[in-house]
Amino acid sequence: QVHLVESGGGLVQPGGSLRLSCVASGSISSASVMGWYRQAPGKSRELVAAITSRGTTSYPDFVKGRFTISRDNAKNTVYLQMNSLTPEDTAVYYCKGSFINSYWGQGTQVTVSS
C-alpha cells in the first residue's frame, strides 16, 4: 500500500502560478509512471502530466508549455509547476502512482479566479 498526499493548491488569479507537490509513503523509484490528473465539476478526470521512471515526460496539448512535471526520488515527491493559469484550469488535482498497483491521492483544489 502506498499513500500519496497532494498539497499546494489554492486560489490564484488568472495568469498566476502554483506548484503542487505529491509526497509518497513509499519509494517513487519503483513507480513506472507518476502522473497528475484533474477533475472539474461535471467533467471526467483527465491527465495533465506524466513522468516515467526514466524521467520521460508527457503532456496533453491544453497544458503543454504551461505545466511542468518533475520528480525528486530522494524525497519521494512529484511536483507540478503550473504557470499562466486560466479559469479553465480550475479543478481538483490528483496525483497517481503506477506501482505494481495504482494509487491515488486525495486531491488538492486549484481555483483560478479574479
Q: Give the C-alpha distances (Å, rounded to integers) separating 26 from 3, 31, 45, 78.
A: 7, 9, 24, 12
Q: Are 32 and 53 in contact (CB under 8 A)?
A: yes
Asked whether residue 98 carries a pLDDT value surpassing 90, the answer given is yes
Asked whether residue 66 carries a pLDDT value surpassing 90, the answer given is yes
Q: How far apart are CA 49 and CA 63, in angstroms?
A: 8
Q: Are 5 and 19 in contact (CB under 8 A)?
A: no
Asked whether residue 102 carries a pLDDT value surpassing 90, the answer given is yes
Note the pLDDT of residue 26. Answer: 87
What is the average pLDDT across 83-92? Answer: 98
